[in-house]
Amino acid sequence: MLGFLGIIKLENMQLEGFFFYLLSGYFAGSVLHYLAAKILGPILFGRGFCGWACWTAMALDFLPYKRNKAGRLTEKWELLRYVHFGFSLLLVLLFWFVIQYRPIPMSKLELAWLAAGNTFYFVSAFFLAFMLKDNRAFCKYLCPITVILKVTSRFAFLKIEGSKENCSQCGACTKACPMDINVMEYVMNGERVLSTECIFCLTCTTVCPEAILDDTFKMDIGGNERIRRIDPGITN
Ligand code: SF4
Ligand code: SF4
Ligand code: SF4
C-alpha cells in the first residue's frame, strides 16, 4: 500500500496528506486507508491496525525491547502525541491558507513530504525505543495517529476478555503486554480490556498459563485506562 499509493500514485500518506485531501474534497486512496484502518475500522476491531499492519511498528518489532520491563512513564509524556497532532494540523492549515499550497494534482512534492514525514517517524521511534528500552515507546508517547485511534477504538466490538473465576493472578499477561496495560486488573474487575491503548496484538492471550484470555465480540464503551506505570502506585 505504501509502495502503490505513496510511490506510484504520489499520495502523501502521512497525517498531513490526509488533512490536505480532506480540505481539497479529494477522495484519495489514503483517505480510504484512514477511514478503514484508523477511523471506522477501529469501531469493529479496535487498534488492530497498530498490532498487525502499521509499517512503523513493523520495523520497531525487530528491535530488542518487545517487553517494557520498567512500566510506562507518567501521563504527561503522553501529551506529546497531542502536541504532534496539533503541529501537523497547524502545518497543513499554514500551507493551505497562507502559502496557498494545493496538493491536487499530485506531484513529486507529495512524495518528498511522505519521505520526510516517514523519516522523522522512524528516526524518533528508534531513538525513543533505545532511550527507553521499549520498542513501542513511539506508539505510547509521540505517534499522532493515536489521537484518532483512541477515540474510535473506545467503541470496538472486539476486545480481550478473561474469566475472573479461573484467573490464578500470576500477572503474566500484564508483564507481557507491549502497551503496559494492566490486563490482570481488568480480569479481576470482571471487565473486558477497556483500554484504548490496546493494540489487539493478542500477546496476553498466548502467555496466559490458564488459557482464559480470548477476544470477544460485544458492545461496551472503552476508555477506562488501567496502565502499568513506572511508579506502581500510579494507575489511571
Ligand atoms: S501507534 Fe502509531 S506508530 Fe504505533 S502502531 Fe499505531 S499507528 Fe503505528
Ligand atoms: S497484550 Fe493483550 S492487552 Fe496488551 S495490547 Fe496486546 S492484546 Fe491488548
Ligand atoms: S496470565 Fe491469565 S491467569 Fe495469569 S493473571 Fe493474566 S489472566 Fe490471570
- Helix/strand/coil (H/E/C) assignment for every residue in 71-90: CECCHHHHHHHHHHHHHHHH
Q: Taking the mean position of all CA atoms in its chain, how far away is CA 169?
A: 28
pLDDT of residue 97: 96
Give mean pLDDT, residues 167-189: 97
Report whether 217 contacts 157 (CB < 8 A): yes
Q: Which of 116, 132, 131, 142 is nearest to 57 (CA)?
A: 142
Q: Which ligand is nearest to the CA of 212?
A: 3
In this predicted model, what pLDDT tens digit does every residue of 47-102 receive, in sequence order? 999 999 999 999 999 999 998 988 999 999 999 999 999 999 999 999 999 999 98
Whole-number Å distance between alpha carbons of 77 and 93 = 26
Examine the pLDDT at 232 and tell me if it is beyond 70. no
From ligand 3's centre to the CA of 152, what distance in Å? 27
Mutation to probe ligand 3, out of 210, 216, 228 (largest number of atoms < 8 A from CB): 210
- Which protein residue's CA is at the shortest distance from atom 2 of ligand 3? 208
